[in-house]
Structure formats: C-alpha cells, structure tokens
Amino acid sequence: MNKLFVLGTVAVLSACSVDSLMATAYPDREIFAFRSTVSEEDVLRYACAPSATEEETLRRARAAHAFADAQLEAFAERAETRMIQRLESGDSTLAASFELNRNASRFGEVLSEEIEARYQCLLFDFVET
C-alpha cells in the first residue's frame, strides 16, 4: 500500500479557502510551510503564534514540523499494516477503507491538538504538490 494514499486521507481543505479562513481566525499567526520527509511531494502548513523573535517562531515551527512528520510516518506505517491485515482476513476493501478514514480523521484531530499544545502552532493544511 502506498504511504501517499494513507497520508492523503489526513489532508484537509484546498489552499485558497484555508488561507482566507486562517487569516480570519488567526490574524496574529505566522504561516510556515515545510516539505514532508515522508514524501517530498507533500507540504505541511502551520500557523504559529508569534514569539519574542522571528527566529524563535521559526524554531518552534520547525520543531512542530519535525514532530508532525514523524507522527505522520508512524501513522502511515500502522495504517498500512492494519489495512493489509483487514484485507488478508477477508474484510472488504470498503470496510477496511472506512476504518482507515475514521482512524485518519481522529489521528489528524489529536495530532493538531498536540502540536498546538506543544509548539503553539496549528497544523492546518496538508497539500500534495
């Protein structure tokens, strides 16, 4: 199973509407974008609360991204294993996909909350380029 498929289920909204939403909801936050190490075609975007210096804000954004990227890779590996187990046990592709989507949705919520708590950065977008 392709990790891009698994990670793609965590993706949120399109960039245009997300940008205007984020500017309205978090006008004081700085936007950062980093390429994923899981797939260099994917870009994760964060809205980070300002720090005393721009360098500190950038440091927190980079730390948030390193954490998110590692968590996404671990989730993709677990989801891939679970999907294979479900299919090999005779479950339908549809049932296995529903479970994956449900788990990915919950994972995305928990990950965003944890990143906000740890780094004061909100993971708000996952774009395949």
User: Per-domain residue ranges for the chain?
Assistant: 3-128
pLDDT at 9 over 60: no
Rg (CA), the chain: 16
* Maximum Cα interatomic distance, the chain, rounded to a whole number of Å: 56
CA atoms of 83 and 87, how far apart (whole Å): 6
* DSSP bridge pairs for 44: 34, 126
What would the two tokens of residue 91 be? 């479950």
Cα distances (angstroms) measured from residue 80 to each of 7, 86, 87, 88, 102: 10, 10, 11, 12, 14
Q: Among 7-16, 21-30, 110-119, name the one with the lowest average pLDDT.
A: 7-16
pLDDT tens, residue by residue, 76-116: 899 999 989 989 999 899 988 888 889 999 999 999 999 99
Closest CA to 100 of 37, 26, 8, 34: 8
Collect all residues with Cβ–Cβ distance below 8 Å to 94 and sequence separation of at least 6.
Answer: none
pLDDT at position 127 is 75
